[in-house]
Structure 1
Amino acid sequence: MLKLYSHELSGNSYKVRLMLSVLGLEHEVIRVDLMSGEHKKPAFLTINPFGQVPVLVDGETVIQDAQAILTYLARRYGGEDWFPSDAIASSQIVRWLSTTAGEVRQGPENARLYHLFGVKSINIDRATEKAKYILTLLNKYLETRSWLEFERPTVADIAVFPYIALAADGKISLEEYPHIIAWIERVKKLPGFVGTIGIDAPQLQPA
């Protein structure tokens, strides 16, 4: 069985759990207590020397880093629908994975770390400015499309979704970004969608 080392407040852990769920993959979640520093202790560092969650274990294969894990899951278990192998199409997906590790991290993710986790080494003014930049860009981009690429959900949507949907944790309002709000609701309607702290899953309507 797949094993996911994660923490419930980690947006990067959540995106992997979301990917596992929408792909319908049975898995075990192993909680790593970030607040007590478990991720920096020798036992965990043997699994990930970077001392970070998430980590995915699939048999003898150990994969670290959320974007790397998403790529692995999408290619191995999701196939062409989630991560196409065509050179141009795959480059479009990778662009969003890079954006997730770049602008999204520098903006909404860092603002969340500052306000929710008290990481005061973060320049909150810069993080807020970066957040508004990527949100404005993303909102404009989604004005003419339903999904980030190919008019269908892909691993790009799963990668970008968590920290955008959790922007309020970083005191970033999404009210000015209606196309992002609509996209968030579309992601929430994906079969197998699971929520997390700060992101509610849609309530099932009674039959």
Structure 2
Amino acid sequence: MLKLYGHPFSSYTWKAQIALHALALDYELKELGDPATCENWKVVNSAGPQGQFPVLVDGENVIFEASCVAEYLDIRYPGNRRLIPADPAAALGVRMLDRVFDNHVMNVMQRAVAEHLFNPEPSADVMADVRRRLHRSYAWLEGWLAHYDQPADHLTLIECAAAPSLFYADWVEQITDTYPRLKAWRAQLNAMPEVSRCIEAARIFRPMFPLGAPDRD
């Protein structure tokens, strides 16, 4: 069976899990606990240069980086619908949006989380910069969604990246009615079975969120 090393509350673990769910693949989540005592960290620490998760183990194949995990699964275990289109030009567009959500939503959001986790007095300047950057991304995505023809019957790598990014970004800086398309799309993504499985499995960990976990999701 496929083994995914990660944590149920981790946004990047969700990204890999959503790909697994979209392709209807069975897998075992090897949950990461205290690094001092959890044996699963040995696999993660040996997989990539910085010991980051998620990590997928498929027999002798070890894949790290969530986008690469999704792409590996799409190649190795293709379903009726692909996460990444076969057409090179269309695939480039999907990969570009994947980078948008990772670099300009997820990673920006995580900067705020890290600021609260590791600094007794979080920097107001850092938080203001995070909010500014998120609003800039929100505005861009609001415009992009006016032209995005989302597949009606399956998820792509875009949704795998967007769902966890927007879920947690909204907790850091709420996506308000200023961005009606983005707000509605986030709700639509959360309701998808492939995503809601992650949301429900992680509910018990919400007290870990340093900014306070809202009860609206």
TM-score strictly above 0.5: yes
Distance 1:96 1:177 in 2: 18
Deviating more after overlay: 25-34 vs 151-160: 151-160
Distance in 2 separating the partners of 1:95 and 1:150: 21
Deviation at 1:36, TM superposition (A): 5.6
Change (3 A) 1:35 1:152: same
- Cα RMSD (Å): 3.1
Provide closer, same or farther for how the CA distance between residues 150 and 93 of structure 1 changes in structure 2, counting only shifts above 3 A. farther
Report what 1:184 is aligned to: 186
Judge conservation of contact 1:142–1:180 (CA < 8 Å) in 2: yes
- Aligned twin of 2:12: 12
In the other structure, the counterpart of 2:53 is 53
How far did residue 35 of structure 1 move? 7.0
Sequence identity of aligned pairs in percent?
Answer: 25
In structure 1, the residue matched to 2:166 is 164
Give the whole-Å Cα distance in 1 for the aligned partners of 2:148 and 2:34: 37
Residue 138 (structure 2) pairs with residue 135 (structure 1): yes
**2:92 & 2:34 partners in 1: Cα distance?**
34
Question: What is the alpha-carbon distance in structure 2 between the residues aligned to residue 168 and residue 105 of structure 1?
Answer: 11
Q: Please state how far the C-alpha of 1:155 moved relative to its aligned partner.
A: 1.1
Once the two structures are TM-superposed, the CA of residue 180 in structure 1 deviates from its matched residue by: 1.4
Rounded Cα–Cα distance in structure 2 between residues aligned with 1:173 and 1:14: 20
Q: Which residue of 2 aligns with 1:205?
A: none
Residue 126 and residue 192 in structure 1: after superposition, are their counterparts in 2 closer, same or farther (change >3 A)?
A: closer
Which residue in the other structure is 1:96 paired with?
97
Moved more, 43-52 or 88-97: 43-52
**Amino acid aligned to 2:15:** K
CA shift, 1:181, in A, is 2.2
Give the CA deviation at 1:143: 2.8
Cα 1:17–1:183, aligned 2, differ >3 Å: closer, same or farther? same
CA contact (8 A) 1:107 1:134 kept: no
CA 1:151–1:140: 2 relative to 1, 3 Å: farther
1:72 aligns with 72
Compute the displacement of 1:47 (Å): 3.0
Deviates more, 1:51-60 or 1:29-38: 29-38
Q: Is the 8 A contact 2:8 2:198 kept in 1?
A: no
Question: Quick check: 2:22–2:154 contact (8 Å CA) kept in 1?
Answer: no
SS of the residue 2:28 aligns to? strand
Partner of residue 82, structure 2:
81
TM-score (norm 2): 0.76
Contact 2:57 2:63 in 1 (8 A): yes
What SS does the corresponding residue of 2:5 show, helix, strand or coil?
A: strand
Question: Deviation digits for residues 165-207 of structure 1, max 9, x if unmatched?
Answer: 222332x0111322112212332344544232369xxxxxxxx
SS of 1:3's equivalent? strand
Supply the AA of the counterpart residue of 2:103: G
Establish whether residue 3 from structure 1 lines up as the match of residue 3 from structure 2.
yes
Structure 1, 74-83 or 92-101: larger mean CA deviation: 74-83
Offset at residue 150 of structure 1 (A): 9.5
Partner of 1:174: helix, strand, or coil?
coil
Distance 1:86-1:37 versus aligned 2 partners, 3 A rule:
farther
- How far apart are the structure 1 equivalents of 2:66 and 2:31? 16
